[in-house]
Structure 1
Amino acid sequence: MNTGFFKSHEGEELFFYEWNYKPGQKTLIVIHRGHEYGERLQEFATHPLFAAYNIFAFDMRGHGHTKAAVSPVFMDSVRDLDTFAKFLGQHYEVREEDIFVVANSIGGVITSAWVHDFAPRIAGMALLAPAFEINLIVPMAKQAIELALKINPKLIVKSYVKSKMLTRDTKQQQAYDNDPLITRSINGKLLIDLANAGKRLVEDAAAITTPTLLLSAKKDFVVINQQQKQFYVNLSSPIKEFVTLEGFHHGILFEQGREEVYKLLQHFIQKAFSAPLPTPTLDSDLFTQKEFETMQYELIPTRERWGYHLQKWALSKLGHLSGGMTVGLTYGFDSGASMDYVYKNTPQGKWGIGRWMDKSYLNAIGWRGVRIRKRHLLQQVEKAIQALQAQEQEVKILDIAGGVGNYLFDIKERHPEVEIVINEFLPANIQKGEQIIKERGYQNIRFTNYNCFEADTYRKLNYSPNITIISGIFELFGDNILASEAIKGVVSISDNGYIIYTGQPWHPQLKTIAFVLKSHQEKDWVMRRRSQRELDGLFSLQGVKKKSMLIDDFGIFTVSLGQVKKY
């Protein structure tokens, strides 16, 4: 066993383990359960059944030999796994498609979120007693913890889990009880964040097509097995297996009879590595297409429909009190003017009640996500600019549907030497944007007025950008052929340039948006979200290779940095 440290996404150092590394071998990443750490996986990692694989593990934040404190944000653990996979690619030449993940308990939820949110093209995953819903024992415990967090945001919850609840193996019980590196508590906010993420992943498991083995412990006192079954049923994976382990407790890799588990794992791992990776297509995800059409035709229960109609009526009568709602009602809630207002995030309205309404409006989870998306987009643009300037290239940016130009003006402020072209379909947005350019005295930045979904647009631009931005536009249109035309057009004028594209793989307020808010076209604002896998596939088909991705803590908006590879 060799060990070392790798730097995660924000610079924290995490401790990792390496067993049996040989260049060119397939690779297993093993994720430990909560409270434990990677070194306890030594028996699994050195078992003869897995001798033909590189095996890696790391200690999560606040666990084992990792000094970084536990993050209360569940998504940070997902980002850590994504960073670790990239680290293995850079330092061990491990290809993404040569990775299979074995994950227990919380590790199973982290792995599921990685596959769902980041869409890595890995060979498969084995989820061992994944903790999609933790058995908190006491009724209303989740609500009690949420209330306690309002009083003490740094709340630490002591774990009720004893070694005998994890395994019937007495030697393993003793090892667990006497190990000073085992943690005995959990961050309260992380516990709630984990519960919310587990619910989201179970409900949206149809987005996952990765080969999946799910092992469920029959006598699991730590998590609720019903959610594991629902997750499995919802999966779209063409290769998937569900096995109930009779008599097993939660700590599957430390249980009596684990040799049988090793055999199940070995068989499925071989099966997953033998299966060809699916080829990207223009096909839409059926589950999001159905969701989109259901909203289009208002095929929802009558009581629910009338509830949304009541909200829409109230918005039409009272919305004028709120500054943001007024902008949305006037120009459309998806308009450039509306986005500009959301980005500014300054509550305005008539009298105190109007400002209060506006503050609540701007604090909606969707708008919070939109502001984070802007921040992430600027980070990805900055990364691309630095890469081009390191190659002594002049930076030329195109946004194919830039609205009034909000975040592009931020780029101009930071990099006045950069050339920027903002394409926008709506004349009103162009007029407002050009006024800002004139007032601020910007140079080398201009608007064009073309349809970004027409292939001929990109020839008419007479411009060769090396950074192209596609933000917040595809979800407004359910048609992948239309989206593909835009990507083709961008690629046709970009030689090895960068493409930054946003996605919306999940949204908790899709129905509210569809049935209450109107679009700039004076229609219901109905969106078709795309899984990250589907979205990445559309770009991959046109020769765009994704290099990195950022996502908000809610799992709503993604911002990917890709590069056109023509030669």
Structure 2
Amino acid sequence: MYNNTQHTFISHDGTALFYQHWENAEPKRNRKKKAVILFHRGHEHSGRMAHLVEELGLNEFDFFAWDARGHGQSPGERGDAPSFSACVHDIQYFVQHLHAEYNIQPENIAIVAQSVGAVLAATWVHDYAPKIRALCLASPAFDIKLYVPFAKPGLNLLSKVRGNFFINSYVKAKMLTHDQERAKSYDTDPQIARAISVRMLLGLYAASERIVQDAQHIFVPTQILCSGSDFVVQQKPQREFYAKLPHPLKEFHVLDGFYHDTLGEKQRQIATDKIRRFILQCFAQNYAAPNVLNADKIGSSCAVAETLSSTLPKNSLKHAFWNLTKQNLKIGSMFSSGLKIGEDTGYDSGSTLDFVYRNRTESSNPIGKLIDRQYLNAIGWRGIRVRKQNIEAMLKKYANQIIQNQQAVRIMDIAAGHGRYILDAVQQLPQQPDSILLRDYSNLNVEAGQKMIEQRGLTDLAQFVQADAFDTASLASVEPKPTLAVVSGLYELFSDNDLLRKSLTGLSQAIESQGYLIYTGQIWHPQQEFIARALTSHREGDAWVMRLRSQAEMDALVEQAGFKKIDQVIDEFGIFTVSVAQKI
């Protein structure tokens, strides 16, 4: 019934990853292709999932399964990868490859993933917001039972001292399944990677904690199969994850007596029957995109921002704590250049961002230098610098695409701050763009940016003007029309989606047909309350209260304005996304 072939695809860093394709041999009768993608457990490979192709009984579907990097026939040191987020990014490129190579639309894809593969898949769905039809997670490894007291903090400490190193899995085959033949095959399979790198293990823990905490931003029908006698992973976070899922089509099943290898258990037909029914029912109705365009007015992100905007009771411990924190920042600003810029201009201002981009301790005294370094090493600012790198990479990639299409490269940034990241990116292009238009609402930023243009000898090429990024008419009237527009770090500062619609409508009218829009998002932040309670905004010293938009919400707003998302990247912390959409 199926023809099995083996292939590779090129991922985000040029690595060729192995995958298998089981093509449905039945005539297609002009129907759209449907596919199930299988993601294997940690230590394993695609061959360990091959039995599911027949056992799931989804005869109208093609099947695909990869070997994650560092596993099976994919390259890389066994059990290792550059980071956990790199493997999540691999999934994005895998799905893009399936679309390009086999014309399979994301909305005709279902995911079946197990253990570590389930966490990779859940993280991908959260961070990249793909429009897939169904997500089936078997024993997701949100929390591995290490059995050693203080194992996680110990590994964290050792990794700081020793760097990356490997630990061997304690898991024996008899702890995975009651199926003796499958257990024996696990013990004798030469492609099983027994060790896992500490950076992958710690990355798995960090991603799991974030995804369980923020599962309310996963808008895909989801089924969870929880093994009732699992010696490897904890059941509690699986339940917490499920409880937060917002989609009405969701299921949680406890499979009594099952060990960790849920889909390789002796009685696995119980599991495969549930998966088959769930997928078929999800495909029995047309795909419906999540309704998130009004998330600024109702829903979890709106409620959190509203709570953080509220005044704390004056006699409460929290009020005293955050008052003390703000006072400490003011005292610190007497010594630290970085804190002084934040206190004077706002911690979300262009001046603050330029200090973060420079990433230097600029205070004149030892205490200030120490504070500067600690400040610059905050996870949010580290993510901001990665975002800058990702913007530069995307700008270079799509400027090259425009050049290959023999079109003029006309760049516009609608809220450029000091313009550093755009001007840095331009220097990396194979040829100078035809024009650069930088815009910003702040006179201070415009003046600083103009000086930077002059210092770099770009006055004949670039101009910096004061303008409102939310003025639809002003954006729409830009001449010549840009072929590549950038909006970075702006929309994250404003909760109101109506403001974004004005801006995106203007951009849609400004950008040439088939031109590109690079836009950023902030989908999660571990210091959201600290920022809201302690830091001031550039807007007249108001509190800097962020409403975190899910990637699905940000993409929906961009799509509503007449663009189609074609690319995305995210930092390894899971905070800042950089996406590319094309005007259609």
Alpha-carbon shift at residue 50 of structure 1 (Å): 2.2
In the other structure, the counterpart of 1:437 is 453
> Are residues 395 and 562 of structure 1, via their aligned partners in 2, closer, same or farther at CA, if it must alter by over 3 Å?
same
Report the equivalent of 1:241: 251
The match for 2:518 is 500
TM-score after normalising by structure 1? 0.97
2:556 match: 537
Q: Which of the residues 301, 304, 324 maps onto 1:291?
A: 304
Please, which of 9, 13, 28 is the counterpart of residue 12 of structure 2?
A: 9
Structure 2 residues without counterparts, runs of 5 or longer: none
Decide whether the 8 Å contact of 2:312 with 2:318 is kept in 1: no
Aligned to 2:425: 411
Contact 2:56-2:276 at 8 Å conserved across structures: no
Map residues 351-430 of structure 1 onto 2, 5 A cutoff: 351-414=365-428, 415-430=431-446
Structure 1 pair 67–318 and aligned structure 2 pair: CA distance change class (3 A): closer
Q: Among residues 474, 479, 486, which one is paired with 2:491 in the alignment?
A: 474
Q: State yes or no: 1:167 paired with 2:177.
A: yes
State the 1:509 CA deviation: 0.9
**Structure 2 CA distance for aligned equivalents of residues 380 and 369 of structure 1:** 16
Q: Which residue of 1 aligns with 2:168?
A: 158
Taking a change above 3 Å as real, the CA distance of residues 308 and 258 of structure 1, as seen in their structure-2 partners, is same
**Conservation of the 8 A alpha-carbon contact between 2:24 and 2:59:** no
Shift, 1:299, TM fit = 5.3
CA contact (8 A) 2:12 2:93 kept: yes
CA distance in 1, matches of 2:175, 2:143: 16
Equivalent residue letter for 1:381:
L
The residue matched to 1:398 in structure 2 has which SS?
strand
Secondary structure of the 2:355 match is helix
Residue 214 of structure 1 aligns to a residue whose secondary structure is strand
The one-letter amino acid paired with 2:330 is S
Give the counterpart letter for 2:70 in structure 1.
Answer: G
Name the structure 1 match of 2:545.
526
SS in 2 for 1:343: helix
Q: 1:43 corresponds to which residue? A: 51
Contact 1:72 1:187 in 2 (8 A): no
SS at match of 2:124: helix
Question: Shift of the alpha carbon at 1:281?
Answer: 5.4
SS in 1 for 2:393: helix
Q: Deviations 1:490-542 (Å, cap 9, x if unpaired)?
A: 00122321000000001111111111111112111111110000000001111
1:209 counterpart (195, 198, 219): 219
Q: 1:239-266, CA deviations, whole angstroms, 9 ceiling, x for partnerless residues?
A: 1000110110110111021112111011
- Match of residue 260 from structure 1: 270
- Does residue 1:197 correspond to 2:211, yes or no? no
Give the structure 2 partner of residue 28 of structure 1. 36
Map of 1:325-336 to 2, 5 A cutoff? 325-336=339-350
Q: Is the 8 A contact 1:14 1:67 kept in 2?
A: yes
2: CA distance, partners of 1:387 / 1:462 = 22
Greater CA deviation, 447-456 or 386-395?
A: 447-456
Instruction: Note the aligned Cα RMSD (angstroms).
Output: 1.6
Distance of aligned partners of 1:459 and 1:545 in 2 relative to their CA distance in 1, 3 Å threshold: closer
SS across alignment from 2:252: strand
CA pair 35-509 structure 1, distance change in 2 beyond 3 A: same
The number of equivalent residue pairs is 565
Unaligned runs of 5+ in 1: none
Name the residue aligned to 1:19: 22
Within 1, Cα distance between the matches of 2:454 and 2:183? 72
Rounded to whole Å, the distance in 1 between the matches of 2:393 and 2:333 is 34
Q: Given the two structures, how large is their TM-score scaled by the length of structure 2?
A: 0.94
Distance across 2 between alignment mates of 1:454 and 1:532? 24
Instruction: Measure the CA separation in 2 of the matches of 1:101 and 1:172.
Output: 23
